[in-house]
């Protein structure tokens, strides 16, 4: 895959597994890794953080609505029944933690990155898309709280 460095992907997997274990008290397992296609996925809530520096792109946390509610309920220790401001903030904080942990893991390998502030998208049946010139790896995860994906899209600067 042109422009994609495999060294960039493992830190995001490790950071995701670590974040869910420590912050949500749940074990997640990687279901599959795929190259993002024409965007047939539909989500309920998405957290996005831009990356710049040695490589540029983004990391995206996609959660169906019920998974977002379950994950944030576990994260903050309070039960939620629907998407509200607290759930939205919780997803923003989780993608921030995952991106920060990934950045630290990449830094240990000698890579340098800067992170943007998280942006959150909430809605029904929307599709995330990416630049055609930048490959996007979709990391699918399974947990007792629900299925979710992390998308990593990076191109070496």
Per-residue pLDDT 10s for the chain (157 aa) are 444 566 789 999 999 999 999 999 999 999 988 887 755 566 789 999 999 988 888 999 999 999 999 999 999 999 999 999 999 999 999 999 999 999 999 999 888 889 999 999 997 665 555 556 677 888 999 999 999 999 998 887 7
Domain 6-149 - what CATH class? alpha beta
Q: Give the span between the Cα atoms of 67 and 56, in whole angstroms.
A: 28
Cα separation values, 135 from 47, 77, 142, Å: 19, 36, 23
Distance, in Å, from the CA atom of 15 to the CA atom of 147, rounded to the nearest integer, reads 17
Q: 80, 109 in Cβ contact below 8 A?
A: no
Domain boundaries, the chain: 6-149
């Amino acid at each position: 895959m042109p422009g994609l460095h495999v060294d960039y992907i493992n830190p995001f997997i490790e950071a995701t597994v670590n974040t869910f274990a420590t912050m949500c008290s749940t074990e997640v397992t990687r279901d599959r890794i795929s190259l993002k296609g024409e965007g047939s996925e539909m989500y309920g809530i998405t957290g996005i953080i831009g990356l710049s520096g040695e490589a540029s792109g983004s990391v995206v946390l996609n959660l169906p609505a019920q998974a977002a509610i379950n994950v944030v309920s576990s994260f903050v220790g309070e039960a939620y029944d629907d998407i509200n401001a607290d759930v939205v903030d919780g997803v923003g904080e989780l993608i921030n933690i995952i991106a920060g942990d990934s950045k630290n893991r990449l830094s240990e390998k000698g890579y340098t990155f800067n992170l943007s502030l998280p942006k959150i998208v909430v809605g029904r049946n929307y599709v995330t898309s990416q630049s055609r010139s930048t490959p996007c790896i979709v990391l699918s995860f399974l947990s007792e709280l629900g299925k979710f994906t992390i998308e990593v899209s990076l191109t070496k600067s």
